Every structure is written in C-alpha cells, then in structure tokens.
Amino acid sequence: MKRRTLLGTGLGVMAAAGTKAQAQNAVSLTLVTDRPAKAQALADRVAPTSGGSILITVHASAAADAASFLATVSSGSTDMYLSAEEAFIATDTAFGIFSSMPGGMSPSELEAWVQVSDGRFMWDILGEEYGVKSFMVGDDGPMPIWSKAPLSGIGNLIGGKVGSVGLGANVLRAMGASDISDIRSSSVDLASLDAFEGLNVAKMAEAGLLDTFPHMTTPNAGRPASALSVGFNLGTWDNLSDANKLLLERCIMAEHGLNRAKAMHDSATALQAAGAAVTAHDMPQDIWNAQITASNATMLEIIESGDLGADIGDAYLFFIGDVAGWSEIGEAAFFVGRKGALTQ
C-alpha cells in the first residue's frame, strides 16, 4: 500500500513537471478583435484541444478600430485578428470580396469557393501581399435593409440618410446616395439614419433598434453575406509547426461552423420573438436593379485596380458562373417549394 502511494506520488510529480514544461514551451499568441465573444470562444477551444500548448490572449477593441487590425497584425505588433476583412478595403478593395461582395455569393457559395475551390489560393495571394494568412471563422448571413418607413422605391432610399459597411457603401454611392455613414463609426448614431444595412435580426434586437427600424426589406443585393475571418501574421503562421497549424485550422473550422449555425438560429428566434414589431417587405424592383448595376460597377473597379484585383475578381466571377446553376435549382428552389409544406 505504501509502495503504491509512493508510486502515485512519483507519477504525480512527473505529471506536474510535464505540465510545467509544456506550459513553458507553449506557443503564446495575441489576438485583437472587435468580436470579443467569438474570439474568446476560439481561444477557449484552442487551449484544451492543444493540451495547453497553444494559448491565445484576446484584446478587445471597438468596431471603429477594425481598419487598423491589418497593419497591427502584418507589422507583427499582434499575432492575430478576428474581424470582417471588409474593414480593410481602404487598403485594398479586394479584401471586401472575402467578407461580402454586393450582388455576389451567398454564405454557402462563398464558403465553397474559399474552403474547397480556388478562393483559398486567391486569398493566400492577397494575404501574402499584406503579410497575413486568413481563415473563415463564421458568417452572420445575408442582411436586409432596415428602415424607419417602408421603401417604396429608390428615391426614398438614396434621398435620405443611409448607412452601410464595406463595399455596400460603395454600392450606395454608385446608386446616387450622398449622405452615407459607416455604421461601424463610433460617431454615428444609428437612430439618426433613415435606413441602413449591416446588422442581422439578432444584432438589431440586441441593440434595441427594432422599434426604431421596424421595416425589413429583402432580398438585399447590397449584403448577400457577412463573413468573418481570423488572420495571422504571416511570419508567425509560417513559424508554427505543421501539427500546430493543423490544430489551429481544425479549431477555426469548428468555430466557423458553430458561428454560422448561431447566426442562423439567433436571427430566426429574434425574428420570431419580434412578431408584429417587424414588417417584412419585398425589395422594390427599381432598388434591386440599381443595386445590381452598382454592384457590377464596384466589381469592375476592383478588377481594374491592378493585377491582384483582376485575378481575384475574375476567379470570383468564374466561380459564381459555376455554382449559380446549382444554387438556383438546389437550395433556392427548395426554399420556394417548401414554403407552407411543414406547418404546425
């Protein structure tokens, strides 16, 4: 009995020593984000999955600071960011393609392009130009236009105070809007706007904005997806072992799936809870037509911005051509056909 106790004690000492050594050899990464809950969830997944050998420290920042994340991470001041890369379009408009391209891919299509087609290669080329390596870590889904009054036509959209984010603002400008606010800015009071895009139902409910903007207009070509990304400093990523790279990729992919599922669930339950407080409207045809024309012009600007923009834009458009047929006869057709099929 005594010998067993001594053996147990010895094993405990050895395990403690092993844990201490592992902690001393841990890879410590810093992450800056404007989505602290999602970033902390990733950190909390990575730590136990790696057995404590990869530790991520999260530093929360305001949405208005997101544009600075690219420079912060590419310079090596911070190892990682978690945000929507559309925040970086002032540096390169091609970043917006990997968040939400107006008139472009749905979340499922964008995911397919990036995860299993040449979108991965194109994203890597863009990242190499700016010293980062990026991965998808969620998508808040397509966004409606929220307005104080029903949108009857393009005049009462572009004639008022409107808000957007990323390439959506470029599209509104191309449509003729002049009073456009970036909804991420700390100086913008959303309640002062007449209409805006960039928040899903769940975020609107969380912010208490549904009473102010009770009119929800879809489909909105200005915001077909809202992808989030984790970006690593390229040198930091390259210096990781293959095993650590694989572990991080798997953890990020798991969080991506969970974040997508939560976005769907939370918006569905928020809309149900809102009940009659929210009125859904079909997008007026003249607004839709203007959005598509402006979206095409925005993509053309990206393609004409240089070789990198041209390569990424062309690859994006080719994939839409490949996937659109299935999207239309697959999910889209099913949703139309299912309506009313299953009811309580």
- Per DSSP, 90 falls in state T
Mean pLDDT on 42-48: 98
* Residue keyed to tokens 């980062």: 132
Mean pLDDT on 12-25: 48
3-state class (DSSP) for residue 259: helix
> Which strands form 132-139's sheet, in the order they lie side by side?
54-60, 27-33, 80-83, 227-233, 132-139
- Per DSSP, 93 falls in state G
- For 204-250, what is each residue's pLDDT tens digit? 999 999 999 999 999 999 999 999 999 999 999 999 999 999 999 99
Mean pLDDT on 152-166: 95
In order of their start, the domains of the chain are 27-139+225-264 (3.40.190.170), 145-224+277-326 (3.40.190.10)
Give the span between the Cα atoms of 199 and 205, in whole angstroms.
10
Question: pLDDT category, 344, cuts 50, 70, 90?
Answer: low
Q: Rounded to the nearest 5°, which phi and psi values hold at 97?
A: -60, -30
Burial of 108 (0-12, 13-18, 19+ CB in 10 A): middle
Give the span between the Cα atoms of 199 and 43, in whole angstroms.
25
Q: What is the 3-state secondary structure (H, E, C) of 201-221?
A: HHHHHHCCCCCCCCEEEECCC
Task: Please report, rounded to a whole number, the percentage of residues in the chain having pLDDT higher than 90.
Answer: 87
- For 178-192, what is each residue's pLDDT tens digit? 999 999 999 999 999
pLDDT surpassing 90 at residue 342: no
Mean pLDDT on 200-205: 95
- Per DSSP, 104 falls in state S
- Alpha helices in the chain, H assignment, sequence order: 2-24, 36-49, 69-74, 107-116, 119-130, 155-158, 167-175, 201-206, 234-239, 242-274, 285-303, 307-327, 333-338
Give the span between the Cα atoms of 285 and 216, in whole angstroms.
15
- For 300-341, what is each residue's pLDDT tens digit? 999 999 999 999 999 999 999 999 999 999 888 888 888 777
3-state class (DSSP) for residue 146: strand
Side chain identity at residue 309, one-letter code:
G
Q: Are strands 80-83 and 27-33 parallel, antiparallel or unpaired?
A: parallel
Contact 68, 59 (CB under 8 A): no
- For 54-93, what is each residue's pLDDT tens digit? 999 999 999 999 999 999 999 999 999 999 999 999 999 9
Residue 19's pLDDT is: 47
Q: Check: pTM over 0.95? Answer yes or no.
A: no
180 is written with which tokens? 């456009």
Sequence-separated (6 or more) residues with CB below 8 Å from residue 258:
41, 138
* Mean pLDDT across the chain: 92
Question: pLDDT category, 21, cuts 50, 70, 90?
Answer: very low
Contact 48, 56 (CB under 8 A): no
Residue 336's pLDDT is: 81
Q: What secondary structure does DSSP assign to 262-284, as a single string?
A: HHHHHHHHHHHHHGGGSEEEEPP
Q: Specify the range with the lowest mean pLDDT, choosing from 12-16, 192-196, 243-247.
A: 12-16
pLDDT surpassing 80 at residue 12: no
User: Of how many residues is the chain composed?
Assistant: 344
